[in-house]
Structure 1
Amino acid sequence: MPNLWDPKRAPKDSFDQLVYASNLLGSDLRVTNFGGGNTSLKRTEIDPLTGEEADVLWVKGSGGDLGSAKASNFASLYLNKVLALEQKFASGTPEDDLVPLYSHCTFNLNPTPCSIDTPLHAFVPDPCVSHLHADAVIAIAASRDAENLTHEVWGGKLGFLPWKRPGFELGLMLRDLIRANPGLRGALMGSHGYICWAGDWHECYDLSLELIREAEAFLAGVHGQPFGAMLSAPPTEEAVRGAALQVLPEIRGKVAHVGQRWVAHVDAGPEVQEFLGSEKFERLAKLGTSCPDHFLRTKIRPLVLDAPPTDEVGDWLDKALSGFREEYAAYYERCKRSDSPPMRNPNPSVMLVRGLGMIAWAKSPSEARITASFYRNAIEVMKGAEAVSEYTALPEQEPSTSSIGSSRRPNCADCLPRKSLPGRSP
């Protein structure tokens, strides 16, 4: 993973460095997935009303993508007002009711909505903060032995926080962890990702990559077959093409929802075929998502299909899709709350078909490609976790709070820009 920081091109202004570093971090999908992660800067600004100095938190806006973020994609908030929301939380104000209050903390009428992870950044005392979802790091975070592995991989560099849904309480947990361990340079958050901090953005960028490299080196040192024995050989290109021609024309109309025909992206690469042909494939695929960001694109779990039959493909697909829809509706009923929006499209976003590969569905070719990249991330996370421990998925109620939960929490999937990936590394 190359260090792309160029001293000749890097700006001198601290805010411009925030944008520059964010673009570098977001340019590599191994560092963070599309639309995932967030960065921030705390610095003194002049209050436009009073003319006095004010401590301001600049944080990546909700749903924005680091790789293409511009200055206008960062929210700005009075730091003291964000920190003062602890009084509301302590007095019993629910997490979801705190979210609308962030707009009352806005500095200089900035219209960009802040990330749901804003408290994580606010309660770190250092000025520069990076929160990322690198596959190698999430593999550790999604392991059954995540806390012990945190110490083994990073020593005393990173602390550990168990899973807590993103929000104000998680920010307070991080603050308390830092106060109890003042030498920490970051923290691993179970089934979520990692966060690190530094005094300037050059240092924070270097540290962000350093932590990923250390996780990658640790995983590379583990030998064996993370997915177990291979039960079937990968299909030939000709077999994949034949299966795609057999299945895709039938299935596209069947996953249409309220008149919206979706677009497919097929990934039959070796990493996908290794997963589909492995001993642990069905068990792992059914466990579900490893972190909220994956869920927003891929849903709680994919539809798993055996190789398509030679005839009656339509009936085969109808039966499989009917079963998935019934399971998804039951999941929605189990997890919905009084203020949940109506159930959305009950069809799968990702299908894993033996003898073909992965089919990802979305409203446009670029979104379908992004959905596929998210499940590729999920495969890498499961592979790494199984190599060093045992993969653990989020409890199904947890990711639902980011999607079918309160309508007052931002739905990042709806905020993502509708465009392709500009200049992204595969």
Structure 2
Amino acid sequence: MSTSAPKRLANLWDDAKAAAMSEPERLVYRSNLLGSDKRVTNYGGGNTSSKIFQKDPLTGQDVEVLWVKGSGGDSASIKLDGFSTLYMDKLRALKGLYRGVEFEDEMVGYLPHATFNLNPRAASIDTPLHAYVNHPYVDHMHPDAIIAIAASVNSKELTKQIFGDSIGWLPWKKPGFELGLWLGKYCEENPNSKGLILESHGLFTWGDTPKECYETTIAIINQAIAWFEQQTEGKTIFGGAAVPSLPAEQRRAIAAKLMPKIRGLISEDSHKLGHFDDSAAVLEFVNSNNLRPLAALGTSCPDHFLRTKIRPLVIEFDPANPDIDAVVANIPEDIAAYRVDYQAYYDRCKHDNS
């Protein structure tokens, strides 16, 4: 965490705006608010849901429908058509078909049979995690401050220390039907809980209104940020600074020279866009003594490495002797070595059935 105190997440909920919306529109509104701040979840990350009573187009009867972010959506920009809709009674009936954890992958094939109103949006693997939480509104986010807790070796103890009994904890389990059942069991056994942390994964929060759910999510993340601020105040972070930063104009000039070369080398199979970030928190990390060993540890949340791969490539650069031509000359070899390392990681960890 940066030694410069990060701002708390703002509560952006507007009662007047929300009151004029339908229930599905309030789900979009809630999702967009959460996704608008990357401290809450990264691009394409997290999912939200609402259990809404609607008229069945066949029977005309009111039925409970799960609206949940579909596969491939982005919380910040999602619209109504980005959500899957499924009959809750059919999702509950799936429990009777479940043959155990060794067969849980087959449950994904049943989800289309629960589709409400012929919605073409495919349901995601996280659908059971929302369906079996016995609250009508659920947020599942991957906030940096929460991931720092969830990925710690003493994740369970930290969760208890920071949140007491208001937030629970579950050990790592890959997303799927079994984890959905775990969440449902936890909710039934802990009716006063506001949410839980999934080890090495992220945060689940819930509420009885869309506003309550959203505000709980924001409050829990802010509570984690505040705890980290308290723990790091006055302490050396990342092993201290190894090098000073170059002036801002010089940093950007160097980035402008490096980016076209990097983009060209990584765009062999598909075109890529570059993004340059020299914020205070980033500089604190890249200037630090522990940059290389910490970068080698890689990402700590599956939702993150879907976007960033397992670890970043650190390109050697000495700001006291900024030889850009030498850096540019070495980039092809650096990227080639990164690809070899990544392929070796993939070959070591792949499964025949995955």
Would you say the 8 A contact 1:129–1:204 is kept in 2?
yes
The separation in 1 between residues aligned to 2:138 and 2:192, in whole angstroms, is 15
Deviation string, structure 1 residues 126-151 (Cα, Å, up to 9, x no partner): 11111112222222212222111111
Equivalent in the alignment of 2:5: none
Match for 1:130 among 139, 152, 158? 139
Deviation string, structure 1 residues 221-250 (Cα, Å, up to 9, x no partner): 122123121111112235424533553344
Equivalent in the alignment of 2:4: none
Q: Structure 1 unaligned segments of length 5 or more: list them.
A: 340-405, 407-426
Match for 2:247 among 236, 254, 275? 236
1:156-171 map, 5 Å? 156-171=165-180
The separation in 1 between residues aligned to 2:324 and 2:12, in whole angstroms, is 50
- Return closer, same or farther for 1:114/1:265 CA change in 2, 3 Å cut-off: same
Equivalent in the alignment of 1:28: 37
Would you say the 8 A contact 1:31–1:132 is kept in 2?
yes
Equivalent in the alignment of 2:128: 119
The separation in 1 between residues aligned to 2:150 and 2:183, in whole angstroms, is 15
* 1:324 and 2:338 correspond: yes
Which residue identity lines up with residue 334 of structure 1 in the other structure?
R
- Return closer, same or farther for 1:27/1:267 CA change in 2, 3 Å cut-off: closer
* 1:271 and 2:281 correspond: yes
Would you say the 8 A contact 2:134–2:188 is kept in 1?
no
Deviation string, structure 1 residues 302-335 (Cα, Å, up to 9, x no partner): 1112117565545522321221111111112122
1:7-406 map, 5 Å? 7-11=15-19, 13-91=22-100, 94-222=103-231, 223=233, 224-241=235-252, 243-244=254-255, 246-258=257-269, 260-307=270-317, 309=323, 311-313=325-327, 315-338=329-352, 406=354
In the comparison of the two structures, how many residue pairs are matched?
A: 339
Hey, which bits of structure 1, 4+ residues long, moved more than 4 A? 308-315
CA positional deviation for 1:189: 0.9
State the identity as a percent: 46
Question: More deviation in 310-319 or 156-165?
Answer: 310-319
CA positional deviation for 1:199: 1.1
- Return closer, same or farther for 1:149/1:315 CA change in 2, 3 Å cut-off: same
CA positional deviation for 1:86: 2.7
CA positional deviation for 1:82: 1.7
Would you say the 8 A contact 1:252–1:263 is kept in 2?
yes
The separation in 2 between residues aligned to 1:200 and 1:273, in whole angstroms, is 40
Would you say the 8 A contact 1:11–1:20 is kept in 2?
no
Alignment TM-score, normalising by the size of structure 2: 0.88
Equivalent in the alignment of 2:12: 4
SS at match of 2:188: helix
Would you say the 8 A contact 1:35–1:65 is kept in 2?
yes
Deviation string, structure 1 residues 8-64 (Cα, Å, up to 9, x no partner): 211364333222222222222222222211111113222222333322211112221
The separation in 2 between residues aligned to 1:124 and 1:2, in whole angstroms, is 26
Deviation string, structure 1 residues 264-307 (Cα, Å, up to 9, x no partner): 22223332221111122111111111111211111111111211
Deviation string, structure 1 residues 346-396 (Cα, Å, up to 9, x no partner): xxxxxxxxxxxxxxxxxxxxxxxxxxxxxxxxxxxxxxxxxxxxxxxxxxx
Q: Structure 2 unaligned segments of length 5 or more: list them.
A: 1-8
Which residue identity lines up with residue 236 of structure 2 in the other structure?
Q
Which residue identity lines up with residue 272 of structure 1 in the other structure?
V
CA RMSD of aligned residues (A): 2.2
CA positional deviation for 1:105: 0.9
CA positional deviation for 1:123: 0.8
